[in-house]
């Protein structure tokens, strides 16, 4: 009798499975570059997140579940260029940006001489949606920099839904112009909360928590790619 009950339970679980089922072990990384594992959808189990290179110059962000995958093309003026070094495109990690279950995906889409540029994505209703950054060209966020300028992005507090996007640029030989803008994450939108502007000395510039390393998101990247450590 007990064996019959077990068989029936297994059959019931199989019927309840299907599309969207999870497994304790992260799905395989076959065909994905710089992939990592984490809880993206907020349900039980882990998903595999990575980059796939398609035909031509197409680049795709992929989230792989136990029985299916979803993807979204990464669109950026640099990634559309077939001569771009694709090794610069990778998943930085998975971030705890707000109180919603699941983690957001942080991706570097291209790197310049000193500054890198990234994009944010979140999973909504089994689809990847991009969170564009206001006031920045193409909706990307810049991070890192050089002696003359530096840019950062970070959570004000983990799971708070508040994000600092800050930076400074050299004004003269002894001072920087420093901007800090606080945003609130609402769905797939960032709404500005307040902006601060100052003119610190070179020695005082960047003395705020969001300027910590490693960038990006030094305080709320729950799963970090070794390339960003």
Per-residue pLDDT of the chain (229 residues; tens, 9 = 90+): 444 333 333 233 233 333 444 456 899 999 999 999 999 999 989 999 999 998 878 899 999 999 999 999 998 877 677 777 788 899 999 999 999 999 999 999 988 889 999 999 999 988 999 999 887 778 899 999 998 999 999 999 999 999 999 999 999 989 999 999 999 999 889 999 999 999 999 999 999 999 999 999 999 999 999 988 7
Instruction: Give how far the C-alpha of residue 161 lies from the chain's centroid of Cα atoms, to the nearest Å.
Output: 14
pLDDT at 24: 65
Pairwise CA distance, residues 35 & 50, whole Å: 4
In sequence order, the 6+-apart residues with CB closer than 8 A to the CB of 8 are: none
pLDDT at 20: 43
pLDDT at 228: 87
pLDDT at 57: 80
């Amino acid at each position: 009798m007990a064996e019959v009950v077990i068989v029936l339970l297994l059959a019931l679980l199989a019927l309840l499975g299907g599309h969207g089922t999870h497994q304790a072990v992260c799905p395989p990384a076959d065909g994905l570059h710089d992939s990592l594992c984490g809880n993206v959808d907020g349900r039980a189990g882990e998903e595999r997140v990575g980059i796939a290179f398609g035909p031509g110059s197409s680049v795709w962000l992929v989230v792989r579940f136990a029985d299916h995958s979803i993807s979204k093309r990464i669109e950026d003026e640099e990634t559309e260029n077939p001569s771009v070094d694709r090794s610069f495109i990778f998943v930085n990690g998975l971030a705890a940006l707000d109180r919603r279950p699941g983690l957001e995906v942080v991706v570097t889409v291209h790197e310049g001489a000193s500054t890198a540029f990234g994009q944010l994505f979140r999973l909504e209703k089994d689809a990847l949606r991009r969170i564009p950054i206001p006031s920045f060209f193409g909706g990307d966020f810049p991070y890192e920099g050089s002696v003359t300028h530096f840019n950062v992005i970070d959570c004000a507090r983990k799971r708070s839904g508040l994000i600092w996007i800050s930076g400074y640029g050299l004004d003269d030989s002894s001072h920087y112009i420093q901007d800090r803008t606080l945003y609130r994450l609402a769905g797939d939108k960032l709404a500005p909360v307040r902006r601060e502007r100052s003119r610190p000395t070179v020695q005082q510039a960047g003395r705020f928590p969001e300027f910590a390393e490693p960038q990006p998101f030094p305080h709320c990247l729950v799963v970090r790619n070794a390339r960003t450590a």
